[in-house]
Every structure is written in C-alpha cells, then in structure tokens.
Chains A and B, each alone.
Chain A
Amino acid sequence: MSTRVTVLVGGSLAAALMVTAGCNPPGSTKAANSDTSVAAKSFVAPGAKDEYYLFYSGGHSGQVYVAGLPSMRHISTIPVFAPYPATGYGFDVESKSMMGKFTWGDVHHPGLSQSDGKYDGRWLFVNDNANNRIARIDLRDFKTRQILGPIPNSSGNHGSSFVTENSEYVLVASRFSVPLPKGRYADPSTYKTEYNGMVSGIKVDQKTGEMSVGWQVLTPPFNWDLGSTGKGPSSGWAFWTSYNSEMAHETLEATATQGERDYAAIVNWRAAEQAVKDGKATLMDGVPVIDPAKVPGVIYFLPVPKSPHGIDTDPSGRWIAASGKLQPVTSVFDFEKIQKAIAAKTFDGDVRGIPVIKPEAVLEGEVPVGLGPLHTQYDGKGNAYTSLYVESAVAKWTLPPWTDAQKKDLNTIVIDKIPVHFNIGHLVVGGSDTKEPYGRYLVAMNKLSKGRHVSVGPSQPESSQLIDISGNKMSMLYEAYTEPEPHFAQILKVDTIAPIEVYPKAENTDSNAVWEASQASVTRNGNKVEVKMMAIRSRFVPDKIEARAGDEITIHVTNVEQTTDMIHGLGIIEHDMNVVVDPGETKTVKFKAAKAGVFPFYCTNFCSALHQEMQGYLAVKP
C-alpha cells in the first residue's frame, strides 16, 4: 500500500469516527425546543401577575412552596414541618410548640379545602409522611395554623391529604403498618398477624378549621398509597390503592411485587362516620377504631393489577382510574357498577372479613397508556392525563363512555403523548379533584432533571414542567427547578382568595402586645426577665435589655407597622435566635441568657433606609 493510500484510508476512518462520535445514539430525545414563540405563552411581564397559584409540596424539606402559573416563578415558601429562619418559623414559642419535638417532615400531597366539590380557598392541608402528621395552612395569611399528630394508630402518613366534597374530612391512610397501638413490640417476622394498617378520617371544624381524629378503620398490613375522594355518584366514598398485599416484611422490592394484583380500598366514609355515632367502634389510643370484620359496609377491596400507585376519581365522580405501575395500563372502573356489585354482593370472597369486589364486574376497560403509569388528572373536558414514570411521558386519553369501536381497540383512545424530563411522578391539572377543573395547564413533577440545567454538583434539583393542555395536542411551555422534592401540587385560581397583607391592629389579641413606645417594658421577676418590645421603622423600644447570666428571657415583640411589606426581624447574636414579625403581629421568644457579655440584637429583615441602625443590646451581667 502506498503511503498516499494509507493516508487516504486513515483520514477517511478518522473522519467517519469523528462524525459518529458527534451523534447521539438512536432513541435520545432532543434536549431543547428552540421555538421562542412558545416563551410568550408563559411570559408574565415584570410587574404583571400570574393567573394561578401553584402550591407544591416540598417533600423532605418539610415545607410548601408557592409558585405562580404560568410563569413558574417561585413566589413564597410556607414553612410547615421544618424551621425556616427566613420568616422566623420554628423560633418563636408558638411555631416551636406546633412543630413539637420534630424538626422536619415529609410533605407529599397538598389538598385544598372544598365546598360543594369546588375549591373554596379557605385552607390547604398537607401531610407529613415521616412523623404521621397533618397540617393546616390558612390561605387568609398563608401561615401554618395547626399541626395534628403524630396521628394515633397510623404510621407513615402517605395516603393523604384527600379532602372530602365539603371539607368535612381530610382522609389519611397509613403507608407503613406497625403493631398497634403504637408502642407495642412485635417482631417483624410476625408482620402478617401482628401488624395493621389504618385508614383515618381527620375531622375539620367548619368554622375554625381545627382538625381532630374523627374515626379510623383497621386494615390488613398492606401499604396504603395514594387515594382520592368521591363526588357526584361516588359522594361519601373514598379510594386508596395499596401495594404489598402479599404482606411481606423484607426485601419488599421483590417480595411485594409477586402478586398479579394488589387491593384498592373502597371506603364508605359516611358509613364509617355513622358506625362511630352508633357506637360500633372501640377506642384505641383514644380514637374510635372500626373493625371492618365486625362492621360491614364500611370498606371493600377491589383488585387492581400490578402494584398500583394512585387512584383518581374524575370530575363527574363516576370514573375511577387506577394505574398498575408495573403494567402499561390504566384500569378504569365505573362507580355505578361498583355500587351494583356491592348491592348484588358480586364478591370474590373476602380478606379478613372485607369483601373483595370481582374486578371484571366493575372494570370499564384497561387503557394502554404506556410504561410505568402512576397518576391521572382530568381537565373537565372528558380527557384524562396519566403520568408515565418509566417512559418519562404524559399520556392523554379519553374518558368513557367509549364507542364500541373504541372499546374494541382502546389504543385509539390514547390521543396524545408528550415526553417529560425525566421520570415523572405526580402531575397536576388545576381543579382536577373538583367538579370543575380549570383544564388549562398541567404541571409535570419530575423526579430527575439530569443534564437539563447548568451543573450544580451532585445534589441535583427536581424539575417541573408546564404543559399547555388547552388544545388537542399537549404543548411544552416551560420548565423550572422546583425545590426538593415536589410530590404533588394544587393549582388555585388567584381570584379565589384575597389574602390579607397586614394583621389589622384591631385583631391583635395578644395581651403582651405594645403599640406605643410608652407601653414598652422590661420586668424582672426572680431570674425571669420579661420584655414587651415594640418594633417600628427604624428602632426597637426598648433597645437595651439588662439581664444576669442564667436568666430566662422572654421577649414579646410587636411590629406596630400597618403597612404592607414592612416586616421586622429580631436576631440576637450568638443566641441562635431569629424571629420575624409581620406588620401588626406579636411574637414571643423564650431563651436562656446563659453567659455574661453584651450581645447585640438587630433587625434581620431589611425594613428601611435606616435598617442598619435598628439594633440594641442584650447586656448580660455575670
């Protein structure tokens, strides 16, 4: 071979290598849509306002985040289960006592309060999967107002917060089963016999929103997962899916996935409520617990294929979609058929006294949506949207009633599919769980965002994507990096609520509030020092607190401002203390002045041109 030929062949080879090296392997999706006209659809000009609130759960951050739609801008953080120095949450006496002994929670599924099956803008309920609690956020001021729990006899509060049509209850189901009552020991090898799960109705006081445990229904130790509440024909009912109906207790990944079907629970919560009224419950850890083997008509089981992870009632209340995450179909059940089956006792035996409904008697069809279907949302126009975890996509399909031709080939009802990036968990359509969904936007909450953003190191953010569902075809509008870790969200039309922006002075009932400099005081009682402090632009009154080492100091600080955004903070050097007080609010902090010295305190929330001057001294004598 001549040198010339060698160079030629070598050169061509190198060129071919270079070309193929630059190509993506077949199957990889285009990373970006460069059509800039799409930007206009989510563009909210500076100074302009969003149309919708997106309340999304912050997962193990323990918080709830508020973003605007369609901009996807993060607007505010509502601290719930974890301290949040930015608003002083978890530092003052009240929020500290609300959080109890815990410093974190695992927020999964926010649920907006409803009246007549529609969002009424009163409250937002969120669950804590880790410490079995449920919290209520008041949408008048976007503040956490109550944390209930740990809920007795309930472990792993994952299957919540599902709000009934008129916010009578927030429904809760246990992800983990434990020996009951809590505190009892039984070896995990006795799981099948000694462990139990629980479905609970958290009663909501209609005036105050105050939550209490209304009733509980004992279940076998399945792992209850996600649920939804009924409406219309299914009014008064609630639904949950479960996994691990095998009742395995180790290596669940394999042992809990052996059965072809797991059970969904069909719960008549009105019957549960009535059973408690009729005295058919027994008290366990102070809560009326219903044993379904003894009280028929409260709960039924319905087999659903392959480890389902979600069951969603449509806006009409008739169609119920449950997806088996290990099988590429979504099963659609007809609640009217479920009622007939219950009436006619079309059962396949029972599990521990709980009747098992024959699935073929109530199944409307299995929709071949795609791989790894999880959750379904509805637009109120007859369409359903199912998240596909494994496939990283959202499938759009048509709800029944279907034509005979459609029934013959249910592939024809899957009308659109859009890729998401990547591994979508939940998805939310505004008002999907109400009678009147907004049906305009869908937010896909994705578990992985790898490679979509500039690198921020190994701790990768989650991504959420905004999809326009107003047309026949879904269209991707925007993506944002939502705080870890969004599980589920609720979308609320902005004009549904009118939050206050200052606490009116007239409403402040704190007996320790001071509104004028002349009322401010420092009082000593033994080794207790109590301060009534006023904060105003740009000073604290008093700005000197004298104490002795070992004193217990209580400061009641009132922000006397009545102007929007005139927020003051009180940070005390080397005392791990920062409380932030909104206009018109009084907050109380308690701490020990452990060591002698002079500790400056200062306003932590920038308030005015003389914010820096807003400071004082905690002077602690030896």
Chain B
Amino acid sequence: MNARLSAMHRILDRPVNFAGRGLLLVGIIVLLAGAALPLWRISLVAPQYAEGLTLDMYAYQIVAGNAGQDLAEINTLNHYIGMKPIVQADFLEMKVMPFALGVFALLGLRAVVVGRIMGLVDLAVLFSYFGAFSLASFAYRLYSYGHHLDPHAPMKITPFMPVVIGSQQIANFVQTSLPLAGTFCMAGFVLLLVAALWTSIREARRDQR
C-alpha cells in the first residue's frame, strides 16, 4: 500500500512531459478563446416572435439579438409576469469570470513552463469545481428569475424554473437554453488538460518500470 502511495507521489512530483506541455498550451489557447466566445444561448419563440428573441451569455457580457433590442423586449414582456428586469450589471459572475479565467490561464502557463503533474491535477480539480459552480450559479440565476415574481404583477403565473439545457413551454413561449462555442471551448480545455495528465502519467509509469 505504502509502496503504491509513494509510487504515486513520485509520479505526481514528476514534471509534465513534453507532449503534455504542448497539449496544455493548446488548452490555454482554447480556454482564452472560450473566454471571448458566447457560452450559452437562451431563446424564446412564440407565434408572434417566430424569428425568436435571443440572449447570448458570455463570460463577461450579455448580448441580445436584434442589435440588443431583444433584451428590452424580453424585459418588457417579463414585466407582465412581474419578473425582475434582466440587467447585465446585476451579474456579478460577469465581473468575476474573466478574472478567474485569467487566473486559470496563468496557472496553466506556469505548468507549461515549470509544471509538475501535481500542478496539473490541481488545475483540473480547481477548474472542474469552477465549471460546476458556474453552471450551478447560472441555474440558480434562472431559478431566481423564475421564482421571485412581483405579487402585484398584472399576470399571475406559478413560479417556474427556466430550463438550463433543452427546451420547454412557458405560456405561449418555447424557451430553449443551449451551450454555445464558449462552453465547448471550456470543455475542450478540460479534455486537453486530462490528455496532458494522461500522457505525462503514462510516460512516468513507463519510466518507473
């Protein structure tokens, strides 16, 4: 048992191999691309909005369709059910996320230059936690918008949970929520990180034998 543990420690202490560094470098580029690209799209389609109203969530901004007009339209419609207006300034995440992604990119770069396998494990664990937390926070945001409805609103509807991924019918609207390129980049970063780990560990094991 001890031997196994110490073998693992020896592996974790080893530097990331050359291929792993390459994969990681690509991963960081993908991560930075993801930070610039839209992460998620929420769209609303109704008979009189056949072309759909869209909101694209970025790590740092909300971009509404129809040159921004769709956000005004969604808020105008939402006031009937007493939903709080969606305002970018309320999204604390959009201030934190760019900073956090910058930290991950720097940690990754550090690993590219002087990284040990342990560093990669830390990066993977932290980033997974960050990703899971962001998704949960996004879901909570949606929950919050759908549940904190003004009791004096003209139309009273049962509080609802907007769908996080997939489609659902809310009154006359079909709401669809789907990940976009930015999220796939984030996932790509994780995959490349895991691949860097895998190739480094495999090489370390080979050397141990």
Residues of chain A whose beta carbon lies under 8 Å from any beta carbon of chain B? 536-538, 561-563, 608-610, 613
Contact = CB atoms under 8 A, between A and B. Distances in A.
Given A562-B69, A563-B69, A610 B76 contact: no
A613 B153 CA distance: 13
Main secondary structure of the interface of A (DSSP, over half): loop
Contacts of B122: none
B76 A613 contact: no
A84 B137 CA distance: 54
B72 interface: yes
Contact of A609 (B72, B73, B76, B80): B80
Contact of B154 (A536, A562, A563, A613): A613
A537 B154 contact: no
A538 to B, nearest CB: 8
Contacts of A537: 76
11 contacts: A536-B76, A561-B76, A562-B72, A562-B73, A563-B69, A563-B76, A608-B80, A609-B80, A609-B155, A610-B154, A613-B154
Contacts of B155: 609
Interface residues of B, number: 7
Nearest to A537: B76
Interface of B: 69, 72-73, 76, 80, 154-155
Contact of B73 (A563, A610, A613): A563
Contacts of A538: 154
A563 B73 CA distance: 7
A460 to B, nearest CB: 38
Contacts of A608: 80
A610 B72 contact: no
Contacts of A610: 80, 154
Nearest to B70: A563
Contacts of A563: 69, 73, 76
A563 to B, nearest CB: 5
A613 B155 CA distance: 13
**Highest count of chain B CB atoms <10 Å: which of A536, A537, A613:** A537
A538 B76 CA distance: 9
A334 to B, nearest CB: 54
**Highest count of chain A CB atoms <10 Å: which of B73, B76, B154:** B76
Contacts of B69: 562-563
**Highest count of chain B CB atoms <10 Å: which of A536, A538, A563, A613:** A563
Contacts of B80: 608-610
**Highest count of chain B CB atoms <10 Å: which of A562, A608, A609:** A562
Contacts of A561: 76
Nearest to A583: B69
A537 B155 CA distance: 14
A507 to B, nearest CB: 13
A610 B154 CA distance: 8
A64 B62 CA distance: 44
A613 B69 CA distance: 25
Contacts of B154: 538, 610, 613
A514 B72 CA distance: 16
A538 B80 CA distance: 9
Nearest to A608: B80
A563 B154 CA distance: 21
10 interchain residue pairs of minimum CB distance: A562-B69, A563-B73, A610-B154, A537-B76, A562-B72, A563-B69, A610-B80, A536-B76, A609-B80, A613-B154
Contacts of B72: 562
A610 B82 CA distance: 14
Contacts of B76: 536-537, 561, 563
A536 B77 CA distance: 11
A205 B154 CA distance: 51
